[in-house]
Chain A
Amino acid sequence: MIKLRNVSYVYMQGGPFEKTALDNINLEIDRGEFIGIIGHTGSGKSTLIQMLNGLLKPSSGGIEVAGVNLTDKKTNLRDVRFKVGLVMQYPEYQLFEETVFKDIAFGPKNMGLDDDEIKKRVEFAANTVGLAPELLEKSPFDLSGGQMRRAAIAGVLAMEPTVLILDEPTAGLDPAGRDEILYKIKDMHERMNMTVLLVSHSMEDVAKLADRILVMNSGHVEMFDTPERVFKNADRLSEIGLNVPQVTRITDGLRKLGMPLHEGIYTINDAVYCITNALRGEGR
C-alpha cells in the first residue's frame, strides 16, 4: 500500500540553515494496517506524513502510495490527496466556510462530485465522527473546540480516502472527547478497511490501537514492529525521549521485584490477565 525507498528530506538545501529532517527511510505498510507513529518532537514524523500525500517532495528516494508513484513528475498530486487523507495538527484552525456542511463538503467538491453524492458523503462523515445533524447548518465558529475538531476530521473523511493519516488528532481535547475520537477512528478503520497512520504522543493510545508502531528518532526509523516488541525496549525508548505505556512500566517494575511476568505487556487487559495468573501461581 505504502512503500518508501531510501527517502531523504533536507530542509533549505544548500542554504546556511540546511537541516536533514529524514535520512534514508525505508518503509512498507500494507493495506488495512493501523500504524502508530511515535517520536520525539523534531524526529521527522510530520515531515514523513506530509510526504505521503505529496505536500512535500523528498530530496531523494522514491515513494509509492496505492500503486501511484509520488516522485514521478507526471503524477497528479491532487488525485493522490483525495486518496490519502491527511488530518494535520489542530485541524480546526483550517475551518473557513459559513456552515459546517459547506466546510465538510470542501474536499468532495474539489473532487468534482455531484451534489447528491456530496450530501451523502457529508452526512456520512459527520455521522462517523459523531457530529449531530443539526450542527451541520451552524457556523463552524459557533461550535465547541471538540466539535470543531470533529468537523475538521469529517472534512477529510468525506473524501473517503483509502489511507487516513492523522497528526495528533486528540491534542488539546478533554479525556472523554479524546477517547471518543480515537474510538471512532478505530471503528472506521475496521468497517472501511482503511489504512490508518496515527501520529501520537500518547503511548497508551498507540499501544491500544496500533497493529504496528513506527518509532522515529532524529530522521531515522528507530523501530518498526508490533507494540509488544517495541515496548520491550523501555530503556532505548526513554533514551530517545519516549516512554512506554504506564501499564508497561508497572509490569516491568513488578517483574524486577520478582513477579514472573513476560516483557512487553502493553494493555491493561493483558496486564490484569498476567498478574492474576502470576499471583495464582504464587498462591498455590
Chain B
Amino acid sequence: MMKDITLGQYFPGDTVIHRLDPRTKILVMIAYIAITFCVQNFWGYIVLAAFIVISITLSEIPPVFVIKGLKPIMVFIIITGLFNLFLTGGEVVWQAGVFKITKEGIRFAAFMVLRLTFLILGTSLLTLTTSPISLTDGMYRLLKPFSRIGLPAHELSMMMSIALRFIPTLMEETDKIMKAQAARGADFENGSLVQRAKAMIPILVPLFISAFRRADELATAMECRCYNGGNGRTSLHELKLEHRDALAGVCMVLILAAVIFLNIAVK
C-alpha cells in the first residue's frame, strides 16, 4: 500500500531529460501547465500527447511508472469527469429522469479529464526525472531574486528539502508501527468506517510523536553544525545552463505557438 505512491519518487537515470537544468525543467513545467489550460480543441492535446510521449521515451523511464502516478488521483479525475458530464447545460443527447447528458457536457468532461491527466503525467515526469535535491535547488535559484522583496527563498527551499527527505523515513516508520500494532492484534482492514478510523489512532499517535522527536533532533543537529540560514552559503553543485536547456525552451515556445495556432485555426 505504501509503495504505490509515485509522486516525488525519483527514477535515477542519465538521459537528456535527467541532465536538464532543474530550473529549465521547472520553467518548462510551468509553461506546460499553462498550455494544458490554453488548449481549446483536441488537436492541441495531440501536440501535448506527442510532447509527453517523446519526453518519456527520451527519459527512458518505463511508461508504467509514469502512468502509476495517475492512480492516486484517478477517483478525483473520474468524479470531475462525471460532474461535468451530467451538470453542463446545453443540447440534450440522452436523458433518464433527472440525469441528462448534453453535447457540451461530453465535450467539457472529456476536456477536464484530459487536462487533469496531462497535468499529472507531466508533473510526475518532472519528479521522476529530477532528484528532490536538485528540484529544491532549482526552486531556490528561481526564487532567490525575490528574496530582495522579502521572500524567504532559502528557508522555503530548506523546508522543502527537509520535508522531501523525511517522506521515506516516515513511510518506513509507519510501516514499522503498523506491524508492531498488528503484532498486538490491531485490525486495520475489517470493521465499519468508524472502527477503522479508530484503528488508526494506535498508528497516528506514535507516528506524530516520532515526527516531532525527529524534527527536534534535526534542529539540534543543524544548530550543532552552526547552521544559520542562507547568507553567504555556497553550493556543492553549481547549476549551469547548457545548450540543451536552450533547446528545451525553444521546444516549449514552439509547442505554445502550435497550440495557439490550432486554437485559432480549428474552430
Contacts and interface: CB of A to CB of B under 8 A. Distances in A.
Interface of A: 12, 50, 53, 55, 78, 81-82, 85-86, 88, 91, 93-96, 106-107, 110-111, 141, 155-156, 159
A82 B205 contact: no
Interface in B181-231: 181-187, 201-202, 205-206, 209-210
Which 7 pairs across A and B sit closest by C-beta, in order of nearness?
A110-B185, A96-B205, A107-B184, A94-B180, A86-B183, A88-B180, A96-B202
Contacts of B184: 81, 106-107, 110, 155-156, 159
Contacts of B187: 78, 110
B183 A53 contact: yes
A159 B206 contact: no
A85 B201 CA distance: 21
A141 B208 CA distance: 13
B165 interface: no
A50 B177 contact: no
Report the contact-size class of chain B (Cβ under 8 Å from the partner).
10 to 19
Given A78-B185, A93-B209, A93-B210, 17 more contacts: A12-B3, A85-B183, A86-B180, A86-B183, A93-B176, A93-B177, A94-B177, A94-B202, A96-B201, A96-B202, A96-B206, A106-B202, A107-B185, A110-B187, A111-B185, A155-B184, A156-B183
A81 B181 CA distance: 10
Contacts of A106: 181, 184, 186, 202
Nearest to A79: B185
Contacts, number: 54
B203 to A, nearest CB: 8
A88 B175 CA distance: 12
Contacts of A155: 184
Contacts of B183: 53, 55, 81, 85-86, 88, 156
A interface: dominant SS:
helix
Nearest to A106: B184
B179 A88 contact: yes
Contacts of A111: 185
Contacts of A88: 176, 179-180, 183
Interface string B1-39: 001000000000000000000000000000000000000
B64 to A, nearest CB: 11
B74 to A, nearest CB: 22
**Max chain B Cβ within 10 angstroms of own Cβ: one of A50, A55, A93, A111:** A93
8 contacts: A55-B179, A86-B180, A88-B183, A94-B177, A94-B206, A107-B184, A110-B185, A159-B185
Nearest to B210: A93
A137 to B, nearest CB: 18
A91 B177 CA distance: 9
A81 B176 CA distance: 16
Nearest to B182: A55
A157 to B, nearest CB: 11
B38 to A, nearest CB: 37
Given A110-B187, A156-B184, A50 B202 contact: no
